[in-house]
Amino acid sequence: MNLESTLEALLFLSSEPVQAEALAAATGAELHEVVSSLERLREHYEFERRGLVLRELAGGWVLSTHPDAEPAARRLLARPRTPTLTPAQAETLAIVAYLQPVSRPEIARIRGVNAESAAATLLERGLVEEAGRSQFGAVLYRTTELFLRLFGLNALDELPELSAFDPSPELAAELRERLLQAGEARAAS
């Protein structure tokens, strides 16, 4: 069996993204050979317009269904979708994503309301995890690999630039005030 076929089989067996180094170790091939083979395999799937795509996600490689197959897959599987995030959960997740590691009190200061419920739900869903404690003993949160996968990111540096955010003047003033207060509180600590 050639290297591309072996890699395809290994990725088919894995439900999680697999790092190229792990694939090299499993196949006994050199890392550069594995990366070249993965790129050729990805190009093959794209050129053939197959139902599968090879993607680089969360620091590894994964086989997934082609996005065009999503409607049919949803009908076939007919599983209940994961509930969408509430505005409070989305705000909390955005704060964690951009400021991590960040504590719940800091999140509450930025949002202007208690963040306990939203943070607990994000923890429960596996989108955030504990990342140690602040100097004051508050639990710090960071995003997880699941967050990267669900948002189609390979790494956090692929998050959209905040400068691209174009809020209404009213929302911008409110956010600016919250961020200034949070910055002052962080500087004071």
| 60 contacts 16 by C-beta, under 8 angstroms | yes
Q: What pLDDT, on a 0 to 100 scale, did the predictor assign at position 96?
A: 93
Tokens of 84: 């969408």
Domains of the chain with CATH codes = 3-77 (1.10.10.10), 87-188 (1.10.10.10)
Answer with the residue of higher pLDDT: 36 or 176.
36
Q: What is the pTM of this model?
A: 0.54
pLDDT digits (tens, 9 = 90+) for 8-55: 999 999 989 999 999 999 999 999 999 999 999 999 999 988 899 999
pLDDT digits (tens, 9 = 90+) for 112-129: 888 889 999 999 999 999
Answer with the residue of higher pLDDT: 126 or 186.
126
Residues 6+ apart with CB under 8 A from 128: 93, 96, 119, 122, 141, 142, 143, 144, 147
pLDDT digits (tens, 9 = 90+) for 71-121: 888 888 775 556 788 888 988 999 999 999 999 899 988 888 888 899 999
